[in-house]
Chain A
Amino acid sequence: MDTDLSSQDRKDLDKFIKFFALKTVQVIVQARLGEKICTRSSSSPTGSDWFNLAIKDIPEVTHEAKKALAGQLPAVGRSMCVEISLKTSEGDSMELEIWCLEMNEKCDKEIKVSYTVYNRLSLLLKSLLAITRVTPAYRLSRKQGHEYVILYRIYFGEVQLSGLGEGFQTVRVGTVGTPVGTITLSCAYRINLAFMSTRQFERTPPIMGIIIDHFVDRPYPSSSPMHPCNYRAGEDNGAVYPSVEDSQEVCTTSFSTSPPSQLLGPGKEGGVPPVPSQPAHGTQADQERMCTPLDGVHYSAATPSSSEDTETVSNSSEGKSGSPHDLLETIFIRKVGAFVNKPINQVNPPDSPETESPLQGSLHSEGSSGSSTGNTHDDFVMIDFKPAFSKDDILPMDLGTFYREFQNPPQLSSLSIDIGAQSMAEDLDSLPEKLAVHEKNVKEFDAFVETLQ
C-alpha cells in the first residue's frame, strides 16, 4: 500500500529499481563480452557510480535496456529478462541462459528505502558479478570469436524458458525486500550443451541476430533484436546513444548515520554524470538523436576490406617465379598501379615496343602473377628491369650490357690500317695547297707568336 510509503521514498525506490535494472543488464552483458573486466576503486564518491560500484555503462546496452523497459519497472508478472545465446558461424543458434529480474508481492514495509534497500541492491549487484562468472556460459563467452559469438537480447514481460532445453538449472542470485515487493534476481541456464548437429533446429520464432561479420539488423516485429556481446568500449561509436537524460538520475551518495535517515542527495540541476565511454555531447542534443540500428561503423574487428588487400598482395607475390628482383618489382608495380591511374606510355619508352609496360600488363590481367617467364602467354608479359639508379630513363640499359660494352670497346677508326693508308696519300696531295694558304696568313701567325712571348 502506498500510504505507508512517503512519496519521496516511493520516488527513490522507483529510481533505485530502475537503475538497478540497468546496471544488472550492464553486468550481465559485460560478463559475456569475452574479455576480462576491470574497473577502478575510487575513494572519493562520484555522482555517477550507482550502488557504490564501478560498473561501466555501455551506451548501446543501456539504450537497449531502456527500450525494452519502455519506461516501466519490473513488477509482478512483468519481469525484465536478459537472454544470452550462442550463434555459430554457420548460423545455428542456441539459448544458453536467461537472467530474470522479477518482482513478487511479498512486501517488507519496515525496511528503509534510502539506506537498507540501497545497500542490499548493491550487495545483490556484487553477487551478480560473482555469479556471472560461474555459469557455463562464461567460459563459452571467453572463447568466442571465429567459430561462434555470444548474443544478448533484452525483453520485458513473461519469462520464456522453453529455449533452454531439458533439464536446465536455476541459480538464485539473491533477493531484496522492498515496501512494494521483493526483487528477485535469478538465472536459468542450459546444461545440455550438445549442439545442433544432434537435434533438429527449429526456427520458431526466429531470433534476429547480428552476426559479427555482417552487422545487418533485421528487426522482427515480435521479438527484439539480438546483439553481439563483443562491444569494445574503447572504440568510437558511429551511432550516439542518448546519455542519461534525466537530470534526476544522479545517484545518491550521501547517507546518514542517524535513523530515520534523511536522504541528502547532491544537487540535481544539470547533474548529468559523466560516462567515460560517451562522446562529449550535451544531453539536449542527445535527446533528439534517433537511435540508429547497429551497423558496421563501430565494429572494426575483422574488417573484410583490409584482409582482402593483404590477400591480393600476397597472392600476387606468391605467383612469382624467378629472382627476388622480380618479386620486389612486382610488388612495387602493384602498389603503383593501385594509386596511379594514368596511361603507361609515359613511363615506358615508345622505342621499345616489344616490351609491354608492366602496369598495363597487370591492369589487363587482374590478379595475375605478372612476372615473365619468357613465353607469349596472355597472362605473362615481359617486364623490363629498370635498375634503381639508372639515370637514363629513355634508354634503359641493363647493367650487364653496359659492362660488356665497356669491356669490349670498338676499335678507333683511325687506327685501322686500311683507312690509314688511304688518308696518307690524300694528305700528301693536298700539302702544297695548304702551304700556300699558310703563307698568306704569315702575319697572323707572327702576331700570335708575339703574344706568346
Chain B
Amino acid sequence: MNCRAEVLEVSVEGRQVEEAMLAVLHTVLLHRSTGKFHYKKEGTYSIGTVGTQDVDCDFIDFAYVRVSSEELDRALRKAVGEFKDALRSSGSDGMGQISLEFYQKKKSRWPFSDECIPWELWTIKVNVVNLANEQERQICREKVGEKLCEKIINIVEVMNRHEYLPKMPTQSEVDNVFDTSLKDVQPYLYKISYQITDSLGTSVTTTMRRLIKDTLAL
C-alpha cells in the first residue's frame, strides 16, 4: 500500500526545538493512540480509556494536549532529546528533520524476518535560528506559537480525512499493529528517526537565515 506522508516545517530558536517537536509528536500520537485492548472470548474486545492533559510550553507562547501516559512522554522526550543534541553538535547551521513513522508488522516465513510496512509518515523539518537580542526572542516566542497553531490545524485536517488505518487486529495479531508495551495506552506501532542536514552550500544556508531574520524583524 502507499504510505501517506506529511511534511511540516518549523523555524525555531535552539531552546524551542524540544518543545516544538514534542508538541507536534504528541498531537499526532494523541490521534494515533487508543486505550488498551482487552480481548474477551467470542472474538470481542473492550478498549480502555485514554486520558489527556494540557502542557504549557516554557519557551513558546503555546499549549498543547497530550495523552496522559508518562511512558509515552518519556519515550518521546528521549527521542527528541537525542535529536536536539545532534542538532546542536552538528554546527551552527542547525538544520535537520525528525520523522515519526507508523508501521505494521507482517510476519514472514522463515528464514525471512518480519517486514515493517509503513502506512503513515510524519516528517518535521527543523531549522534552528540564532537570535541576537531579547526583543527578537520575544517576537520569536509569539511567531513560533502561531506557527505551531497552524501545524496543529494541519495535523487535525490530515487526521480527519479518514484515510487508511490498519484493520483492528485479532488478539494474535495485535502486536503487529499496536505497541502493547505501554501499560496505560496503546499507540499504533511507531518509530522515530532523525537526520541532521549537513549544510548543502553556504549560499543556500545564508539565504535561508537571512529570510528568516527578515521575517522576524518585521
Contact = CB atoms under 8 A, between A and B. Distances in A.
A and B associate in one complex:
yes
A171 interface: yes
Main secondary structure of the interface of B (DSSP, over half): mixed
Interface in B30-85: 30-31, 34-36, 38, 40, 42-54, 56, 61, 63-65, 67-69
Contacts, number: 141
Contact of B46 (A36, A126, A176, A255): A255
A39 B48 contact: no
Nearest to A261: B44
Interface stretch (B110-118, B130-138, B152-160): B152-160
Given A130-B64, A257-B168, A257-B169, A37 B50 contact: no
Given A130-B30, A254-B40, A41 B50 contact: yes
Interface string A113-137: 0010000100110110111011100
B39 to A, nearest CB: 8
Contacts of B42: 256, 264
B67 A41 contact: yes
B65 A39 contact: no
A104 interface: no
Given A123-B160, A134-B153, A53 B49 contact: yes
Given A127-B31, A138-B63, A173-B156, A256 B51 contact: no
Interface residues of B, number: 46
A52 B50 CA distance: 6
A279 B110 CA distance: 60
A64 interface: no
A42 to B, nearest CB: 4
A337 interface: no
Contacts of B38: 43-45
Nearest to A44: B48
Contact of A133 (B36, B54, B162, B184): B54
A49 B49 CA distance: 7
A171 to B, nearest CB: 6
Contacts of B69: 41
B53 A37 contact: yes
B54 A37 contact: yes
B170 interface: yes
Given A41-B35, A129-B30, A130-B65, A36 B49 contact: no
A58 B164 CA distance: 35
A253 interface: yes
A38 B56 CA distance: 12
A127 B52 contact: no
B106 interface: no
B66 to A, nearest CB: 10
A173 B160 contact: yes
Contacts of A11: none
Contacts of B153: 131, 134, 171
A218 interface: no
Interface in A162-177: 171-176
B31 A264 contact: no
B43 to A, nearest CB: 5
B100 interface: no
Contacts of A127: 31, 156, 159-160
B149 interface: yes
Q: Which 6 residue pairs spanning A and B have beta carbons closest together?
A: A174-B160, A134-B149, A36-B54, A38-B53, A39-B51, A54-B51
11 contacts: A39-B52, A41-B67, A42-B35, A123-B31, A123-B160, A133-B152, A138-B63, A142-B63, A172-B160, A173-B156, A256-B45
Given A42-B48, A255-B47, A256-B44, 14 more contacts: A37-B53, A39-B51, A40-B68, A42-B51, A43-B36, A43-B38, A52-B35, A115-B168, A127-B156, A130-B155, A257-B43, A257-B44, A257-B45, A257-B169
